[in-house]
Chain A
Amino acid sequence: MAFLLRRLAFYLAAFIAAATINFFLPRVMPGDPIQIMFAGAGSDLSLENLNALKLTFGFIDAPLGEQYLAYLKSVFTGDLGRSIRFFPLPVTELLARALIWTVGLVGLATLVSFALGTLLGVMAAWRRGTLLDTVVSLSSIFSSSVPAVVVSLIVLFTFGYTLGWFPNGYAANPMLDPGWTWEYVSSVLYHGTLPMLTMVLVLTGGFAVTMRNNMINLLGEDYIVMGRAKGLADRRVMLWYAARNALLPTVSALAISLGAVLGGSLIIEVVFNYPGMGNTLYQAILARDYPVIQGELLIMTAAMLTANFIVDLSYVLLDPRLKKA
């Protein structure tokens, strides 16, 4: 319990740090911060609306400390301001729409590549030095050194444009009404295939390398030798004796890689014009829609912290030693 509380306090501090970056960035840039933040609005914004926006971002007639507190207050009450490009849509609402697509894409792709990578890693370690191991290791090096931009562009060019097997953008056929109809759901799956495939390609190598190395470090342990000496089936020793124990550090690697996963999905969404968080951030940057840009950093940080906390929880469940601490 103390462990989880300490982690929670740390996450709170990290979130405040992200908010602090948001607060100070426009203020340390050369020029008028209000001008920087809201220039994109032009004359579309009434004075009243502009004042409300200024208040949200702490641009009040008060010393810096009070401005900071005013900003933190709006952040913690869930008020991230309104989008300038899609005024008067609140940033939270805009991002909530995008979040569903990203969570679906990232969640599914992470699960698939975690399972696939872990399995490949276990098998490569078990048959160390064989052809399988060489192929898995080499393709892992390759997949982890090629930028996500490059992988997505090549996948899009090959399967989207040249072969024409899959659509080149959007999360579903825009002519269809969203709903739980077979037509819509299959369209979502069809449009999601290429982004998913790309993400799995980008992620799997890292998981495979991690699992392979953990396994190899464990294979010399006495209880593995014991299991074999007892005459247990190979598969049983591999999965229940070695892989189970090698999984623990892999789970923590998963937590660390989540930030990278989010970044990878950002690029994939932009290339495949997928309407998730990453693409929304990209569109906001192009339109200099600063309230949305800042809201993105906060939501993505919050998502990352939540995921880290879930990993912490699973750690407590997986590792009995932490329960006592």
Chain B
Amino acid sequence: MDLFSQLLRNRKALIGVTILLVVVLLAVFAPLLTDYLPTQRVGRPHQPPSGDHLLGTTRLGYDVFTRLLYGARVSLAVGFGAGLLITVIGTVLGIIAGYKGGVVDEVISFFTNMILVIPNLPLLLVLAAFIGQASPLVIAIILGFTSWAWGVRVTRSETMSIRQRDFVKSAEMLGESQWRIMAFEIFPNLISIVGINFIGSVIFAVISEATLEFLGLGDPNTVSWGIMLYNAQNSSALSVGAWWDILTPCIALATLGLGLALINFAIDEIANPRLRTGGMLLRWAGLIRRGEGTL
């Protein structure tokens, strides 16, 4: 497709995709890249980086590099899984609200706006607290079902403007069914917004998963970047100066976040040459910021 060939020619996209690919490859080939298992004591506690342990060991004597590789699997799976769920719900509701209008729109918009004014991270914390020691799968599902509101808002307003265009009007005249118009006339024109929503949601999900686990709401037996942060914080890695223990997951999260953000930035530039400096970027910034409960 045209979008993809353009993506490959964009420098930001190239750097972003490279970062993402490296992380994916590290995650997939984890067993080939390390001799250890992530939940195996393989050294003395808090050993600094060395030939045997490239990124040192944790308080419990686990190999940090090994946990980084295996942890990438969980971060990617939760990020892309929850991101997909958020995007599907947001896109479907957004198109329906924007196209149908009337009561359907009122109802969907009401719930969307309501979710937007309830602070996201505290809500997630309350949910996770009642569930207790949430596994990555549970976290992904919670994220998916609580975080679609932004996508609805953006998709809805774009659908409303596309709905006025001639090709939609003529499809209506020809007597096409409403579902067909939404799926085959409107959706293809939203593809860049859906893409930006998707990547933004992936960033949000990766960050939120790490945050929830860092706060002790995840399952402590998982091997993930969030649990690495949690363990490092709880074993006072900061005060004993075990920088490798705490900085490794930090840098991993920052790099993945940056890579994904660059991809999003590039999609935006390609989809809206006129807005090469603005416009949709604003929504994109919102999508990410919503994350950290971020920003």
Contact = CB atoms under 8 A, between A and B. Distances in A.
A108 B167 CA distance: 51
A224 interface: no
Contacts of A288: 129
Interface stretch (A13-21, A55-63, A317-325): A13-21
B286 A146 contact: no
Nearest to B260: A145
A266 interface: yes
Interface of B (DSSP majority class): helix
Contacts of B229: 149, 153
Nearest to A213: B278
A285 B295 contact: no
A141 interface: yes
A26 B130 contact: yes
Given A17-B114, A153-B229, A308-B117, A264 B261 contact: no
Interface in B247-295: 247, 250, 253-254, 257-258, 260-262, 265, 277-279, 281-282, 285-286, 288-295
Interface in A255-305: 256-264, 266-267, 270-271, 281-282, 285-286, 288, 290, 293-294, 296-297, 300-301, 304-305
Given A14-B114, A297-B126, A145 B261 contact: yes
A72 interface: no
B211 interface: yes
Contacts of B253: 146-147, 149-150
B186 interface: no
A305 B117 CA distance: 7
A217 interface: yes
B131 interface: yes
A148 interface: yes
Interface stretch (A43-51, A79-87, A202-210, A232-240): A202-210
A147 B130 contact: no
Contact of B121 (A25, A154, A253, A262): A262
Contact of B118 (A18, A146, A154, A281): A18
B293 A266 contact: yes
Interface stretch (B35-43, B80-88, B214-222): B214-222
A73 interface: no
A294 to B, nearest CB: 7
Contacts of B203: 145
A165 interface: no
Interface of A (DSSP majority class): helix
Given A17-B114, A161-B241, A293-B129, A146 B258 contact: yes
Interface string B32-59: 0000000000000000000000000000
B210 interface: yes
Interface residues of A, number: 71
Interface in B185-219: 203, 207, 210-211, 214-217
B122 interface: yes
A300 B119 contact: yes
A201 to B, nearest CB: 10
Given A14-B118, A150-B254, A263-B295, 20 more contacts: A22-B126, A26-B130, A147-B291, A150-B250, A160-B238, A202-B295, A203-B295, A214-B282, A216-B277, A253-B286, A259-B117, A260-B289, A262-B121, A264-B294, A266-B121, A285-B125, A293-B126, A301-B118, A301-B119, A305-B117
14 contacts: A13-B110, A14-B117, A17-B118, A141-B261, A206-B286, A209-B285, A256-B116, A259-B116, A259-B293, A261-B295, A263-B120, A263-B121, A282-B215, A297-B126
Interface of A: 10-11, 13-14, 17-18, 21-22, 25-26, 29, 36, 128, 140-142, 144-150, 153-154, 156-157, 160-162, 168, 202-203, 205-206, 209-210, 212-214, 216-217, 253, 256-264, 266-267, 270-271, 281-282, 285-286, 288, 290, 293-294, 296-297, 300-301, 304-305, 308
Interface of B: 110, 113-114, 116-123, 125-127, 129-131, 203, 207, 210-211, 214-217, 229, 233, 238-239, 241, 243, 246-247, 250, 253-254, 257-258, 260-262, 265, 277-279, 281-282, 285-286, 288-295
